């Protein structure tokens, strides 16, 4: 048998060299070259190798286009996948410890096991722990196969014997191949194991759901290219202490990456939040300055969220600017626009901005809400009750049009809201009876419409 050789592999770009470098010669990253044992031509490598054969994009008799999708039984999760998990695809689900990755996959097993054979491989918990959790989730009698051995060839053997349709691996970091000398969780282990699973998925049409740990930067631990290798990457977001947990697709070969799924952790696992808009703004304070409701689009779905701002006199030379749930640079820019175009003196004020419920707003349509919440807090004038706003703010203080304005208004009308403040260019042609739309050109006009007369400072 040929001897194994040692090689150094960059975790960023995959560059391989027999010598160690502090700086990767290929991508110039520092400290990313890791020692690895390279197999000469073992069974592991051979398994990845596939016969070379070119085929037409669409062979004769091949079904038209279409992937078969499996429902997870949770509409919110199916939506993120783009209408269910595609058969034969490989999905990576990342997220903080304790956020609910194992819980949601076990819950998905309930429905999946009704129509498919499901194998749940875990290296994180014992059989007993899994059984207890399954009991808590009410699925201990589902025909889900459980495997607590995470050695790759053992997993492959079980797959060979049981021929499951869906395999959950919890987690990819605990999976290892005994043919490689690196420890479980090492970059080479993760890369090679994932490669072999992908080969299995593609040749045998097995659907893989992989749990991935995340590192302190928030991306999935392991080689950077892990996300390139798989078909779908989902992230579970939200704080353990916050009510809502959000699943978002970072990559999806079979659907859009805009959709999000909203869940709430309960006694019996994760519950889908039926009406997220109502839930997200239900606790908002009334007649209090510094709060504004925005309608953002999360994928195809309009969602209401509460943006809060608190401005107070700074006790330091440099004012503090903090924001949660919305990009800090964007907030700083909007405060500068407010100062320059609407005459607020903010240079000596600390500013805090927050999106309620752990939601993260990325759409520029939330700009107007930040501006109004900040102005409202600064002047101590509450925003008009039940006014829904959206609009992008430009550097001249102008309001710029957003996409799907009509859909946003229609959804809010459905939820019982009837007053809107939006960019002039987005004025809808028709609105429902009783609906008032204020379409304005810039933030000065918007402030005039939105803010109530000055309240008494308490």
Q: Does 100 bind ligand TYD (CB under 6 A)?
A: yes
Position among 24, 33, 99, 371 found at the interface with ligand TYD (CB under 6 A):
99
> Out of Mg ion, ligand TYD, none, which partner does residue 115 contact, by CB within 5 to 8 A per kind?
none
Q: Let me know how many helices (H) and strands (E) the chain has, helices first.
A: 12, 23
Nearest distance, CB of residue 279 and ligand TYD, angstroms:
18
Name the residue among 425, 381, 377 with its Cα closest to residue 402.
Answer: 425
Number of residues that bind ligand TYD (CB under 6 A): 15
Q: Where are the alpha helices (DSSP H) in 72-170?
A: 75-81, 101-115, 127-136, 152-162
Binding mask 110-139 for ligand TYD (x = CB under 6 A): -----------------------x--xx--
Does position 103 interact with ligand TYD (CB under 6 A)? The reply is yes
CB 337 within 8 Å of CB 314: no
CB of 159 to Mg ion, least distance (A): 21
Q: Which of 69, 79, 101, 330 binds ligand TYD (CB under 6 A)?
A: 101
Query: What residues pair up with 91 in beta bridges, in sequence order?
Result: 209, 232
Spatial contact of 439 and 426, defined as CB atoms under 8 Å apart: yes
Q: Does 102 bind Mg ion (CB under 5 A)?
A: yes
Q: How far, in Å, CA of 62 to CA of 387, rounded?
A: 53
35 CB-near residues (< 8 Å, 6+ apart): 6, 7, 8, 20
- Residue 150 in contact with Mg ion, rule: CB under 5 A: no
Q: Does residue number 122 form part of the binding site for Mg ion (CB under 5 A)?
A: no
268 lines the binding site for ligand TYD (CB under 6 A) = yes
Q: How far is CA 1 from the centre of its chain?
A: 46
Q: Which does 136 bind (CB under 5 to 8 A by kind): ligand TYD, Mg ion, none?
A: ligand TYD
Residue 105: name the closest of 75, 69, 141, 77 by CA. 77
φ/ψ of residue 387, rounded to 5: -90, 130
- Binding status of residue 142 toward ligand TYD by CB under 6 A: no
Radius of gyration of the chain (CA): 26
Q: How far is the CB of 170 from Mg ion (least distance, A)?
A: 6
Least distance CB 272 / ligand TYD (angstroms) = 14
Return the number of the residue (102 or 189) whose C-beta is nearest Mg ion. 102
Distance CA 421, CA 430 (A): 15
- Does residue 245 touch ligand TYD according to CB under 6 A? no
For position 98 contacting ligand TYD by CB under 6 A, the verdict is yes
Q: Give the residue closest to Mg ion by C-beta.
A: 102
Q: Which is nearer to ligand TYD, 102 or 377 (CB)?
A: 102
Structure tokens at 386: 């039940």
β 85-86/90-95 pair status: unpaired
136 three-class SS: helix
Confirm or reject binding of residue 174 to Mg ion (CB under 5 A).
no
Binders of Mg ion in range 206-265 (CB under 5 A)? none
Q: Supply the minimum distance, in Å, between the C-beta of residue 148 and ligand TYD.
A: 15
Q: Output 99 or 311, the one with its CB closest to Mg ion.
A: 99
What residues form DSSP beta bridges with 37? 6
Q: Which residues pair with 237 in a beta bridge?
A: 246
Q: Which stretch binds ligand TYD (CB under 6 A): 64-72, 264-272, 290-298, 443-451?
A: 264-272
Of ligand TYD, Mg ion, none, which one does residue 17 interact with (CB within 5 to 8 Å by kind)? none
Nearer to ligand TYD, 172 or 294 (CB): 172
Q: Is 13 helix (H, G, I), strand (E, B) or coil?
A: coil
Q: How far is the CB of 237 from ligand TYD (least distance, A)?
A: 12
Q: Which stretch binds ligand TYD (CB under 6 A): 27-35, 91-99, 306-314, 415-423?
A: 91-99
Helix axis angle, 152-162 to 187-204, nearest 10°: 10
Figure out which of the listed residues 18, 65, 97, 143 binds ligand TYD, where binding follows CB under 6 A: 97
Least separation in angstroms between CB 94 and ligand TYD = 9
The DSSP bridge pattern shows strands 118-122 and 166-170 to be parallel
Touching Mg ion, residues 338-377 (CB under 5 A): none
Tokens representing 348?
């000596």
Residue 213 interacts with ligand TYD (CB under 6 A): yes or no: no
- 289 and 377 in contact (C-beta within 8 Å)? yes
Helix (H, G, I), strand (E, B) or coil at 99: coil
8 Å CB contact between 317 and 290: no
Regarding 91 and contact with Mg ion (CB under 5 A), the answer is no
Q: Which residues bind ligand TYD (CB under 6 A)?
A: 95, 97-103, 133, 136-137, 265, 267-269
């Amino acid at each position: 048998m040929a001897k194994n050789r040692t090689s150094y592999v960059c975790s960023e770009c995959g560059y391989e060299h027999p010598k160690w470098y502090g700086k990767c010669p290929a991508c110039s990253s520092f400290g990313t070259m890791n020692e690895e044992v390279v197999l000469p031509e073992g069974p592991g490598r051979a398994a990845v190798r596939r016969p070379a054969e070119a085929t037409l994009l669409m062979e004769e008799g091949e079904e038209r286009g279409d992937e078969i999708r499996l429902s997870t039984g949770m509409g919110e999760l199916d939506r993120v996948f783009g209408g269910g998990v595609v058969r034969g695809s490989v999905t990576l689900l990342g997220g903080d410890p304790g956020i609910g990755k194992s819980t949601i996959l076990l819950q998905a097993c309930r429905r999946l096991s009704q129509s498919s054979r499901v194998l749940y491989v875990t290296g994180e918990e014992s059989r007993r722990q899994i059984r207890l959790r399954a009991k808590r989730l009410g699925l201990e009698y589902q025909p889900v196969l459980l495997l607590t051995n995470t050695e790759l060839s053992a997993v492959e053997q079980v797959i060979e014997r049981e021929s499951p349709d869906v395999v959950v691996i919890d987690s990819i970091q605990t999976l290892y191949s005994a043919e490689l000398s690196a420890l479980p969780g090492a970059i080479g282990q993760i890369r090679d194991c994932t490669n072999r699973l992908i080969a299995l998925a593609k040749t045998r049409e097995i659907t893989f759901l992989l749990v991935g740990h995340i590192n302190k930067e928030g991306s999935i631990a392991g080689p950077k290219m892990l996300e390139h290798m798989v078909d779908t990457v989902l992230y579970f977001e939200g704080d353990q202490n916050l009510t809502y947990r959000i699943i978002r697709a970072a990559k999806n070969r079979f659907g859009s990456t805009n959709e999000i799924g909203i869940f709430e952790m309960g006694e019996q696992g994760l519950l889908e939040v039926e009406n997220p808009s109502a839930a997200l703004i239900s606790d908002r304070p009334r007649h209090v300055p510094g709060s504004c409701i925005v309608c953002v689009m999360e994928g195809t779905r309009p969602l209401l969220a509460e943006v809060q701002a608190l401005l107070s006199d700074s006790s330091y030379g440099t004012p503090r600017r903090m924001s949660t749930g919305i990009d800090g640079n964007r907030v700083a820019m909007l405060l500068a626009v407010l100062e320059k175009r609407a005459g607020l003196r903010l240079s000596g004020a600390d500013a805090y901005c927050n999106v309620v419920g752990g939601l993260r707003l990325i759409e520029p349509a939330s700009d107007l809400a930040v501006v109004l919440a900040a102005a409202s807090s600064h002047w101590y004038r509450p925003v008009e009750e039940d006014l829904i706003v959206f609009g992008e703010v430009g550097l001249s203080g102008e309001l710029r049009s957003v996409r799907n304005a009509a859909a946003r208004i229609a959804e809010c009308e459905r939820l019982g809201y009837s007053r809107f403040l939006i960019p002039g260019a987005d004025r809808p042609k028709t609105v429902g009876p009783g609906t008032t739309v204020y379409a304005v050109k810039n933030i000065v006009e918007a402030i005039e419409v939105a803010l109530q007369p000055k309240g008494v400072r308490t």
